[in-house]
Chains A and B, each alone.
Chain A
């Protein structure tokens, strides 16, 4: 036999548990730096722009958007799908990596889940205001009512409402339950009366005993088991919004797995962006090591290949089907026609750029990682743009073809959701430890030769 070096340390440096608490709680226990206030201001400005666009929509109706009779879904649905895709990574991180016994995810899942919660909130906003009269949004809930009306159970849009609201509740629950032990730690350590009370209340009387931990882990396991199918269901149902129609370019049976993998892809890209930023501003590079970023880059590389396969399959089957409209959509409208720029941006960013991660040097280079993660998110936005608009704008009847341009209000709402996301994430990093302290402590020794002699005896 030979000694192997395949496993890696999950937490670098020789730290004891006290040090880990000190380092990981520092963002909560110290005053925020200048960049935090600057970011908050930027977020507030974005939110204000969004507020204006929101006001325009509510007071004058969705006629202020760039939609037309042909292109009845535009930026609103594109942004909805984009945000909900990003919102997949958090729960996927926690649940799938729990199932696959990927312990390295322990130091990332907290912030990935926070990202999920805010991204799903941003996403949920779009269908809500797209209703036109959002104050009547409760009509979508199926309950016996004096209007004697039921919702349309056959509609994928209704499935969407159920899937997303369930997913949001589940993500928030998992996120919150995951941080209960950390909140208790903060409450224990702080001297400030007010903080002690608030964190104390939210830590639900956590006492850290064996019994508490036992039940806690059982609960998380059960919730995790329930959440895993939910993660898949959300983007599956989003894809069904398109796939169960008869429009060329939308009606494709590969859409559910393709959308799901795309969601994981864009979510992981966003996680990568955020992790690189957080490593920059907080002192956490021992917990999110180059190996962590390397792993995320590997996931991106492989999921990019699956997406490329889906693109290729769709194009091949479009030709193979022999349906004139399918052939037109893929070969004329998308690849060479009015939407060719967006189409090739999509192919370049999603299928070509992540292939740079075949080189180890690229996976270790923060600048390349960061640039690729941003490009992937741009590419995924264009993917939704291409799928949605090209099929609507140029469908069966050339006389009803309409070009599509977003209006200022559309752009304003999109900017507003960025504001919501930025403000939410900044509040998160101010009041909650960005890395799950209680999850990192048990894995902090993995991959290290703490006591080589005894390990040898064991084998």
Chain B
């Protein structure tokens, strides 16, 4: 139980190569088609930010609900949150590409577009950047606090660290529920500047935990294969499968409700968003999104016997990685770049981001014990049986 993980040399080389591919994609992208590259940068920023925020929300929820089963591997969601500072820098770089992504950021647009003129107190570049800085400052400092008290607990067994973590968990969930849903509105929904949906931010915020759990599963089994987490048993796998199963239902529910309400009321301003996606050329992605994110996980994980198999869990989690990409692609691309393009820029950028993400998360994991030493619920977690 004392083990610490060190990323091996081959992983470091692999991630460095991935990063090189990403940089190549950026160079190719900006020389051929800058606005496509900017949209892809936003997509990948959102992709990994969703996982980081979702993972920290998952981590905090374990404290708020006083869950014991997950105490053993709580360092994994904590490490997934370590990407936040990098995400912040990459997100701030978007400043140079705002007019390529957002219609409202184009110069003099308020003179011709009355609706954007109405929204301009909110949709203007300075306020957009200020909000971004505020979000990241809050998330990063709270993520730092969460990590600090978890690591301090290792050095000294004292219930006060558990209580501190509990307190900061509450603050983190409070802040990120408000600001991540607002950030989703800010960064994605305003791409289609005329369209609005009250559910949009809420949906992105809630489903972020879905993808975070998928990543936790992948990382957990990766480490398990390397010989860590030997106490991982059937009951843990069962609970992870149930988490994914329930989130698949929540995803399906929120996805369908937003669609049904807009489709049924048939208000032109609102259906304009769904038109290219539901009947237009993006139709394939539209159906792929719901099949991959809802139908397949829902059916595959319905039975506990099948769902808790390691292979099934890994396959579904990998599928969800694709699902998150498609989901974001469908949310971002039609309104910003406007064409379906899938090539080296898309793939290469994702690979570059993934390399960066993996190495940062693994480095963060290696900086403390893999299993928290003095967590009060550790025994319960290790002996978790259903």
Contact = CB atoms under 8 A, between A and B. Distances in A.
Given A305-B174, A309-B178, A313-B181, A4 B118 contact: no
B119 interface: yes
Nearest to A312: B178
Interface in B64-117: 65-66, 115
A240 interface: yes
Interface in A1-34: 1-2, 4, 6
A271 interface: no
Contacts of B254: 257
- Residue from A246, A310, A314, A317 having most chain B Cβ neighbours under 10 A: A317
A252 interface: yes
A456 to B, nearest CB: 11
A256 B255 CA distance: 11
Interface of B: 65-66, 115, 118-119, 122, 157-159, 174, 177-178, 181, 196-202, 249, 253-254, 257-258, 260-262, 264-267, 269, 374, 376-379, 383
Contact of B265 (A6, A236, A245, A254): A245
Contacts of B257: 236, 253, 256-257
Nearest to A308: B178
Contact of A254 (B157, B198, B379): B198
Q: Which 5 interchain pairs have the tightest Cβ spacing?
A: A254-B198, A253-B199, A244-B264, A4-B376, A322-B118
A194 interface: no
A232 interface: yes
Contacts of B196: 317, 320-321
15 contacts: A2-B159, A2-B376, A4-B159, A6-B376, A240-B261, A243-B265, A244-B265, A251-B261, A251-B267, A253-B257, A256-B261, A305-B177, A310-B198, A313-B181, A320-B119
Contact of A257 (B159, B202, B249): B202
A255 interface: yes
Contacts of B383: 459
A164 B76 CA distance: 43
A251 B270 CA distance: 11
A141 to B, nearest CB: 23
Contacts of B181: 309, 313
A253 B255 CA distance: 10
A320 B194 CA distance: 9
Given A6-B377, A244-B265, A313-B181, A253 B198 contact: yes
B265 A313 contact: no
Contacts of B269: 323
A453 B196 CA distance: 62
A236 B260 CA distance: 12
A395 to B, nearest CB: 14
Nearest to B65: A100
Nearest to A250: B265
Contacts of A4: 159, 376-377
Contacts, number: 86
Given A246-B267, A252-B198, A310-B198, 6 more contacts: A2-B159, A236-B257, A240-B261, A254-B202, A256-B253, A314-B198
Interface of A: 1-2, 4, 6, 100, 229, 232, 236, 240, 243-246, 251-257, 305, 309-310, 313-314, 317, 320-323, 459
A314 B379 CA distance: 44
Given A2-B157, A4-B159, A313 B261 contact: no
A257 B157 contact: no
A185 B255 CA distance: 47
B119 A254 contact: no
Contacts of A317: 196-198
A253 B119 contact: no
Contacts of A240: 260-261
Given A2-B159, A309-B177, A257 B265 contact: no
A215 B1 CA distance: 41
Contacts of B65: 100
Contact of A243 (B66, B202, B261): B261
A244 B270 CA distance: 12
Contacts of B377: 4, 6
Contacts of A323: 269
B174 A253 contact: no
- Residue from B197, B249, B261, B378 having most chain A Cβ neighbours under 10 A: B261
A458 to B, nearest CB: 9
B124 to A, nearest CB: 13
Contacts of A100: 65
Contact of B379 (A236, A256, A310, A459): A459
A41 to B, nearest CB: 44
Contacts of A243: 261, 265
A251 B115 contact: no
Given A2-B159, A4-B159, A253-B258, A232 B253 contact: yes
B237 to A, nearest CB: 16
Contacts of A246: 265-267
Contact of B115 (A6, A229, A254, A322): A322
B157 A253 contact: no
A313 B376 contact: no
